[in-house]
Structure 1
Amino acid sequence: MAMMSPGKRRRNAPMAEINITPMVDVMLVLLIIFMVTAPLLVAGVPVDLPDSKAGALQNDDKPIQLSLDAQGRIFIDSLEIPADGLAEKLAALREARTDEARVYVRADRGLDYGAVMRVVGEVSASGFRKVALVSDGESKPAGRR
């Protein structure tokens, strides 16, 4: 048997090093994909929200999202609900949830205030006590958009 110097290994010895560079590359690509797609999954109905100085609410459970678009159509999450069937649908949602559910009302800025308040009144009459109006970030001076 030939004598080997301490710095050299045998030719047939298994490699004990792991190359993690490809794994890190894949994880960074997945992180970028999730960062780009996550904001797109929040709302399914396009609504031009009004501005507000109020901060975002902290929540632990998934709220019920009630949206009113520019034509006055009503959506619960992304399902369109006729105006005369809103009370029944809200009552069914209230009975199905055992916890104190939050309802987020998102209304287009061009809608009549009375139309929005009628929907908020229906939500309140259905037994929901945690109702929040959603706005779009910082308020801008009047006349600018």
Structure 2
Amino acid sequence: MAFSAAGSTSSGPLADINVTPLVDVMLVLLIIFIVTAPMIARPIPVNLPQRTDIAPPIEPPLPIELRVDASNQVFWNGQAVAVSSLQARMQDVAQANAGNVPVLRIDTSADAEYDVMAKVLAAASNTHLDRITFVR
């Protein structure tokens, strides 16, 4: 209800619009536009992939089958290899298949020592052979 003025002779309520909520809403909208307008005006940097003319290889390279038996002997695709020469062989395979490294499938005996397996995984990590699966 609106109040009447002291010197007014009318006995009914005044029909004025309460503009306080309207001003509150307009101020909130003004603040929102002030905050968001600079964000819209600035360009957003987006790193999109670039087109290359190099076709990806069609066939993945053959996987490397590593087996560690109970006597801690390491076999590379069925051939026995020394653990010390394992990293050099992995490096050769990684360089030969740059960009498309083969999968390293490791099968180990339950009786094999952890130290040998740790050396195999360290050699794979050092040569960036990241696609490793464990076969049981």
CA distance in 2, matches of 1:112, 1:84: 16
Partner of 1:19: none
Partner of 1:104: 105
Amino acid at match of 1:119: V
Q: Does 1:63 align with 2:63?
A: yes
Offset of residue 115 of structure 1:
2.1
Offset of residue 62 of structure 1:
2.7
Amino acid at match of 1:94: A
Amino acid at match of 2:113: D
Matches within 5 A, 1:9-24: none
CA RMSD, Structure 1 to Structure 2 (Å): 1.6
Alignment check: 8 A CA contact 1:105 1:131 kept: yes
Give the ranges of 4+ consecutive aligned residues of structure 1 lying more than 6 Å apart after TM superposition: none
Partner of 1:80: 80
Q: Under a length normalisation based on structure 2, what TM-score does the superposition of the two structures give?
A: 0.51
Offset of residue 61 of structure 1:
5.2
CA distance in 1, matches of 2:114, 2:75: 17
- Could you list the runs of 5+ residues in structure 1 that have no partner in the other structure? 1-59, 136-145
In structure 2, the residue corresponding to 1:132 is in which secondary structure? strand
Alignment check: 8 A CA contact 1:105 1:120 kept: no
Query: Which of the pair has more CA radius of gyration?
Result: 2
Partner of 2:33: none
Amino acid at match of 1:91: Q
Offset of residue 63 of structure 1:
1.1
Amino acid at match of 2:72: G
Amino acid at match of 1:75: F
Q: Greater shift after overlay, 66-75 or 112-121? A: 112-121
CA distance in 1, matches of 2:133, 2:103: 8
Q: Under a length normalisation based on structure 1, what TM-score does the superposition of the two structures give?
A: 0.48
Offset of residue 77 of structure 1:
0.3
1:91/1:61 Cα in 2 relative to 1: closer, same or farther (>3 Å)?
Answer: closer
Equivalenced residues, count: 76
In structure 2, the residue corresponding to 1:106 is in which secondary structure? strand
Matches within 5 A, 1:106-145: 106-135=107-136
In structure 2, the residue corresponding to 1:127 is in which secondary structure? coil
In structure 2, the residue corresponding to 1:114 is in which secondary structure? helix
Alignment check: 8 A CA contact 2:83 2:116 kept: no
1:61/1:94 Cα in 2 relative to 1: closer, same or farther (>3 Å)?
Answer: closer
